[in-house]
Amino acid sequence: MLLASPLRARCNIAAPALIIAHQSRLLSADGDPASRLKSSNDSSPDRARPNDNTDFISEHHVDPIRALFPWRHSPSPLPRLCPGTPEYSSQGGYVGPGMPPLNRWIRGALFWNAASMLNIPSYKVLFFRGWEEEMASQFSWAFQMAVAGLLSRTYRVPMESIISTESPTDASDKEATVDDDAESDEPSPPVESSSFVVNFDQTVAPPPHPTDITEPKPTNHHDDFDDENAPELEFMLQKQLRTLYEMAHEHTRHNLQIRLKTEPYDAEIVSMFLIPFITRERVEATPALRHALRNVWVHLEEKEEKLGRRLGMGEAISEIAGQLESLAKKQADSQGVVQSTIICQTLIKCREIFAVTNELDQVVQGDPEGKVNDVTHLVRFEMTISASINGGPSTLGSWQITDIDDLLEGNVWYT
């Protein structure tokens, strides 16, 4: 019996998870998709759940088109992270838009497959969490730095005026905290000394707008602002996400007072999965590739229809692995290197103050009382990896933030 080629072996590994995901599209979700990760003090099966802070209630959904500043500030997680909600079923649950809600065993298989493509040994994935916690911590730092850089560039404020070491719960803000006199059963974990705080409290003016329709539109004022301390947002934040904030500012017609003070205290990866053999860049260049994975599923359905029966697991693995192998060979370059995408979603818990006030001193977004709230942000990261079809370790790219709290509905490009 001939051994499978390295490429075929990788396709065989990816195929079962795709088959089960495909079957989950046809069957109703089982309603028990607890996160694979559990904290030491949470024995419940559902990792994401609203907390007990009921003093502040915010809309679950932020309309990024109408928001003066696109930001979700709520003590409750996104509804799609809560089993039993309509959004959980319609928006992909823990995996997100573009995928069906998957139970934790399927998510675990997808997680293991993606981790293996990050060159993480299987024994570490199965038995150790240190690498995972470190990665989540790095994601938390990247999120803070990206938000600070985004505020700096959008509103032309130096980074040194945004980065702070003062926590929202420091003495200067204690009068604004929630239930000052109440005793908390579970105090927020301490923040590591290496962390920093995004502290933005500025009155921002609208950008210049032509008063005559015959006047040329002013050039993008973001391009001529240069702060050597600012991060390179082009690499940290995906283009559509940067544009979302730029356009919100461009459409502002009056002065706004924006206050955002946020400090992370915990981070946890809730899902990670591989999009094999296609990337965002390739899809932008060749839009037909957007449906590459859907076409694999369609091929499986057509094969079953032709045979007049459901394929067994072994048959289905062979069919899908063959389709994936064909896709990989078509996308490989002249050196036999093919690119894939890893998507990782991380819950970042923060102590946060957020309010947007208009010229009439009315709070039009955020907490009208300016209190510190425990909020949870879902941050979506994406990385392009390269691997030879002849086998060997992956060459890793850089993580990029592609969405925050589903403001771009996942910023999905592969369905």
Question: Model confidence over 283-318: pLDDT tens digits?
Answer: 999 998 998 888 888 888 888 889 998 888 788 888
pLDDT of residue 118: 95
Q: What is the pLDDT at residue 253?
A: 84
**Residue 220: per-residue pLDDT:** 55
The one-character DSSP state at 379 is E
Residue 332 has pLDDT above 70, yes or no: yes
Q: Which of 32-46, 94-108, 178-192 is most confident?
A: 94-108
| Selection from 52, 50, 73, 46 nearest residue 62 by Cα | 73
Q: So what's the pLDDT on residue 49?
A: 34
Question: How do beta strands 373-388 and 337-357 pair?
Answer: antiparallel
- Residues written for the chain: 415
pLDDT of residue 164: 81
- Residue 263: its pLDDT value, please? 94
Q: Mean pLDDT across the stretch 189-210?
A: 74
In this structure, which amino acid lies at residue 384? T
Tokens of 79: 């509804």
Q: Grade residue 24 by pLDDT with cuts at 50, 70 and 90.
A: low
Pairing assessment for the beta strands 256-275 and 197-204 based on DSSP bridges: antiparallel
Residue 45 clears pLDDT 90, i.e. is over it: no
Under the banding of pLDDT at 50, 70 and 90, the label for residue 105 is confident
- Report the chain's mean pLDDT, rounded to a whole number: 79
- At residue 187, φ and ψ (nearest 5 deg) are -65, 150
Q: Best-predicted range by mean pLDDT among 62-66, 249-253, 335-339, 379-383?
A: 379-383
Q: What is the pLDDT of residue 195?
A: 67
pLDDT of 376: 94
pLDDT over threshold 80, residue 136: yes
pLDDT > 50? residue 150: yes
Q: Is 278 in a helix, a strand, or coil?
A: coil
Task: Determine if the pTM surpasses 0.85.
Answer: no
Q: What is the mean pLDDT of residues 264-277?
A: 94
pLDDT in tens, 337-381: 999 999 999 999 999 999 999 989 999 999 988 899 999 999 999
